[in-house]
Chains A and B, each alone.
Chain A
Amino acid sequence: MAVAETAAPKAAAYAAASDAVPTVIADNVNIIYKVTASGGKGTAASAFRRILKRQDRPTIREVHAVKNVSFTAYKGDAIGLIGRNGSGKSTLLRAIAGLLPPASGAIYTGGQPSLLGVNAAMMNDLTGDRNVVLGCLAMGMTLAEIEERYDDIVEFSGIGDFIDLPMSTYSSGMSARLKFAIASAKTHDILLVDEALATGDAEFRVRSEKKIKELRSSAGCVFLVSHSLDVVLDTCNRAIWLDKGVLRMDGDVKEVVDAYNEEATGKR
């Protein structure tokens, strides 16, 4: 916990220096959710016995994924969330997006956050161009706006002729590119990116990093979950390190990544 203690005043100094408007405030957030774990025999007889004995479903388990996390993000911030697998990074993003209400504490946001995740598919039976139109309509754009932006979106995604094919035929990299292109067509107040850039090729990664910087400058705030520390270093100005749901460190991206690296290599 020594790291967290030294990090706290640094984060405060950082916030005061930037002298900006807060866009996301997490106040002592705890997130607990139920998951269906494997277990139980799964036969009709065992299910019936369970009901007779008035037991809870054995396969439902509660996970305390995020513990007492507090931070404040400001306009123009690009924050990288780092940590090992299962440390609560994606869960925290979904809570910021308002898709997973915290069990206690509160998350305040200015404007509507949009979550962009790689495993969040759109409509796979439909062609790419229909997905573009539907996705934009769902985000609240008008048909005229979509017509205006359509070419840019397709251009940016780099899908090319495949846009006429159903999304189920796309490779994971292609659908990630298209989803990122759709989500970034609108200027978001808060954009949450969950590993979406990892599957793209090198050329797309460069383009999307540029796009994230653009979104940042248009007064938005970007959160980025990534296991690639290089991507975090390149695109973010600040980083938050989560360890088993606890906030370990919050501050300048370079310092946090260095500390994280040190621990990762030190343990080995």
Chain B
Amino acid sequence: MSYSRPEPSRLARMSTAAESAKTAELAAMAERYGLSRSSARPSLRTYLIELWGRRQFIVSYARARTYAVYAGARLGSIWQVLTPLLNAGVYYLAFGVLLGTKNGIPNYASFLICGMFVFSYTQRSMTEGSRAISANMSLIRTLHFPRATLPLAYVVNELNQMFLSMAILFLMVGFSTGPNWHWLLLIPALFLQTLFNIGATLVFARLGAFLTDISQLLPFITRTWLYASGIFFSIPAKLEGLHAPGWVIQVLSLNPISAYIDIARRAVLEEHVKNQLPHAWEISIIWAGISLVGGFIYFWRAEDRYGRG
């Protein structure tokens, strides 16, 4: 290319001795008056403090977005309840009635819908989050604020949706078996999944900001994940039917989504004992930690580059 990029080092060599003396003088003056580089990335500690300071922004932004999404529809926010219900209905029809994958799972409708809801919480956080930066470019270029607030607001949105979905699930299960103190376990289960989702969303927000192709690719990734995570079938029962060796289930249960679905099912479904995966709680905790810390650091490392055009 004829318009090759002059390397910073070459530019430096081009500048004369007088200029480099001036550079040192200006840098010293900046230091003396406590000026900082305008495009510098804040330290992780400062960043987290700033982020905590904007917690109100995160909540308000999430609320405003929910409002904006449903503002055009005649039924408005009722769609927040209708969408998961319709989703559950379609999957029940396809997998429960038409394909008959029930194979001996008691209360199959609740089993399926619980898995569906947990899965779509993570899936939607990731796909929506991959657009968190690119969809808000104008806001990013107008105002200065820690960019991680945007993907975080997207997760808050999805969490809010998840609460509504869970209320529907409780109504369904409650009708057939009555309430149970086991349900309280859903609180730590959802908490761990939310930590995982925050990390995953931050990772995809950064990927989506620089690689716009990722949003084309994500639906295929999540769909593969959907079929591998034991939402329509019970993983232990399926593997038993296939006479798979013992290590297969160990490997499959390392899938974070399977683990979060499993701990949610343990909380909600009484009969889940015989279908549960090994070490689901431990795996859930480890994934939440890895994802949260890794996601934050990964996102923060590009903080000074979001919004560049």
**Complex Cα spacing A115 to B144, Å:** 8
Q: Given contacts A30-B11, A70-B26, is CB(A108)–CB(B38) below 8 Å? A: yes
Given contacts A94-B141, A97-B144, A120-B138, contact A21 B11 (CB under 8 A): no
User: Would you give 28 A-B contacts (Cβ < 8 Å), ordered by A?
Assistant: A27-B30, A28-B15, A64-B3, A72-B26, A99-B39, A99-B140, A99-B308, A100-B308, A101-B305, A101-B308, A102-B39, A103-B11, A107-B38, A110-B33, A113-B144, A114-B144, A120-B138, A120-B141, A123-B139, A125-B68, A126-B64, A130-B64, A133-B60, A134-B61, A137-B54, A138-B139, A138-B149, A183-B143
Inside 8 A of A134's CB, which chain B residues have their CB?
57, 60-61, 64
Q: Is B172 an interface residue (CB 8 A)?
A: no
- Given A35-B309, A96-B38, 15 more A-B residue pairs with CB atoms under 8 Å apart are A21-B33, A25-B30, A27-B26, A27-B30, A28-B22, A62-B3, A70-B22, A72-B29, A99-B141, A103-B5, A103-B6, A115-B141, A122-B138, A137-B54, A139-B143
In contact, B30 and A100 (Cβ under 8 angstroms): no
- Cβ of B222 to closest chain A Cβ, rounded Å: 24
**Docked CA distance A140–B248 (Å):** 50
Report the number of A-B residue pairs with Cβ-Cβ less than 8 Å. Answer: 151
Given contacts A95-B39, A101-B39, contact A110 B34 (CB under 8 A): yes
Collect the chain A residues with CB atoms within 8 Å of residue B140's CB: 99
Check if A108 sits within 8 Å of B30, measured CB to CB: yes
Min CB–CB distance B262 → chain A (angstroms): 38
Q: Does chain A have a CB within 8 A of B211?
A: no
Cβ of B36 within 8 Å of any chain A Cβ, yes or no, is yes
**Distance of A103 Cα from B37 Cα, bound (Å):** 13
Taking CB atoms, residues of chain B closer than 8 Å to A70 are 22, 26
Closest to B34 in A: A110
**Which residues of B lie under 8 Å from residue A35 when comparing CB positions?**
309
* Interface status of B71 (Cβ within 8 A of chain A): yes
The reply to whether B57 and A98 form a contact with Cβ atoms under 8 Å apart is no
Q: Out of B35, B64, B142, which one reaches A25, CB within 8 Å?
A: B35
B180 within 8 Å of A (CB atoms): no
The reply to whether B1 and A56 contact each other, CB–CB distance below 8 Å, is yes
Interface size range on B against A = 35 or more
- Cβ-based interface call for B53 (8 A): yes
CA distance A14 to B37 in the complex (A): 24
CB neighbours of A122 from chain B (8 A): 138-139, 142
Q: Are B144 and A98 in contact (CB under 8 A)?
A: yes
Bound-state Cα–Cα, A81 to B73, Å: 46
Q: By the criterion CB–CB under 8 Å, are B5 and A110 in contact?
A: no
Complex Cα distance, B30 from A70, in Å, reads 13
Q: Mark B13-48, 1 if CB is under 8 A from A, else 0.
A: 001000100110011011001111111100000000
> B191 in the interface, Cβ–Cβ < 8 Å?
no
Name B's A-contacting residues (CB within 8 A).
1, 3-6, 8, 11-12, 15, 19, 22-23, 26-27, 29-30, 33-40, 53-54, 56-57, 60-61, 64, 67-68, 71, 138-145, 149, 304-305, 307-309
**Contact status B29-A25, CB under 8 Å:** yes
- For B31, the closest partner residue in chain A by CB is A108
Per the bound structure, the CA–CA distance linking A96 and B60 in Å amounts to: 29
Do A30 and B39 touch across chains, with their CB atoms under 8 A apart? Answer: no
Q: Which residue of B lies closest to A136 (CB)?
A: B57
CA distance A23 to B304 in the complex (A): 20
Pairwise interchain contact B35-A108, C-beta atoms closer than 8 A: yes
Could you tell me if B26 and A140 are in contact, using CB atoms closer than 8 angstroms? Answer: no
Which residues of B lie under 8 Å from residue A142 when comparing CB positions?
56
Neighbour of A135 across the interface among B5, B12, B143, B309, CB < 8 A: B143
Neighbouring A residues of B1 by C-beta, 8 Å: 56, 62
Choice from A61, A104, A108, A125 contacting B71 with Cβ under 8 Å? A125
**By the criterion CB–CB under 8 Å, are A115 and B29 in contact?**
no
Contacts of A117 in B (CB 8 A): 141-142
**Interface presence of A11 (CB below 8 A):** no
Query: How far, in whole Å, are A23 and B259 apart by their CA atoms in the complex?
Result: 53
Q: Which residues of B contact A25 (CB under 8 A)?
A: 26, 29-30, 35
In this assembly, does A229 line the interface, its C-beta being within 8 Å of a C-beta of chain B?
Answer: no
List of A residues within 8 angstroms of B139 by Cβ: 122-123, 138
Shortest CB distance B147–A (Å): 11
Which residues does chain B contribute within 8 Å of A112, judged by CB atoms? Answer: 144
Q: A160 → chain B, closest Cβ, in Å?
A: 22
Q: Does A170 contact B (CB under 8 A)?
A: no
Contacts of B19 in A (CB 8 A): 28
A137's nearest neighbour on chain B, judged by CB, is B57
The distance in angstroms between the C-alpha atoms of A138 and B26, with both chains bound, is 32
Residues of chain A in range 29-71 having any CB-CB distance to chain B below 8 Å? 30, 32-33, 35, 56, 61-62, 64, 68, 70
Query: Which chain A residue shows the least CB distance to B40?
Result: A98
